[in-house]
Amino acid sequence: MILPIPTITPYTSFIAFLIGLPTLVATYYQSWKTRRETTEARQGLVFSGNCLEFLLDDGTTINLVPLETLHVLPSPGDIVLLPGSQPETSSSLQHGAYRVRRIEHIYTRVTTRKAQVGQARLIKTVAHVDMVSGVIQDNALTSYSESPATASFQTPN
């Protein structure tokens, strides 16, 4: 016995709807989630967004300073005094004086609806530094300079 097509068509349409609607919703959700993750990765705001990052040659981050707290950015050749960011041992001192070698500014596109063509915003600044001085165990700040022309600093005990 064969059923006539007009009698089974409403049932097949209903079954297709029950299967198709969740598939459509899941596909839309996955594409939305992927776009959101891609945007977050492009902005790079996970660790040090909107900050001035002080970085040594070996990739060690010394300090992060929020950009909105700064009045001016350091220039190459400036000496900055940094407190360090990690617990220190006598073999890995971080606090002290550092000379700024170069500054890198990292920008991203503005993706809002009101953004103009080619508009960008600053998301991060990186200052590459070299150590000029460190702290000795006696709490006396002494310098070990790269050249004899650099002045020596000492604090009273």
- Which pLDDT band holds residue 43 (cuts at 50, 70, 90)? low
pLDDT of residue 150: 39
pLDDT of residue 151: 40
Q: Give the Å distances, CA to CA, from 153 to 96, 130, 142.
A: 11, 17, 6
pLDDT of residue 75: 93
- Residue 52, beta-bridge partner list: 65, 125
pLDDT of residue 157: 37
Going 111 to 112 to 116 to 121, the CA torsion angle's sign is negative
Bridge-based pairing of strands 61-66 and 79-82 is unpaired
% residues pLDDT > 70 (the chain) = 73
pLDDT tens column, 97-155: 899 999 999 888 887 788 788 888 888 899 999 988 754 333 434 444 343 333 434 44
Report the residue count for the chain: 157
Higher pLDDT, 90 or 136: 90
Domain ranges of the chain: 1-43, 51-143
CA 130-101-94 angle, 5° bins: 25
pLDDT of residue 37: 85
Tokens of 50: 């909107």
pLDDT tens column, 9-40: 888 888 989 999 999 999 999 999 999 888 77
pTM over 0.85: no
In this predicted structure, the answer to whether residue 72 has a pLDDT above a threshold of 80 is yes
pLDDT of residue 61: 85
pLDDT of residue 142: 41
Average predicted confidence (pLDDT) for the chain = 77
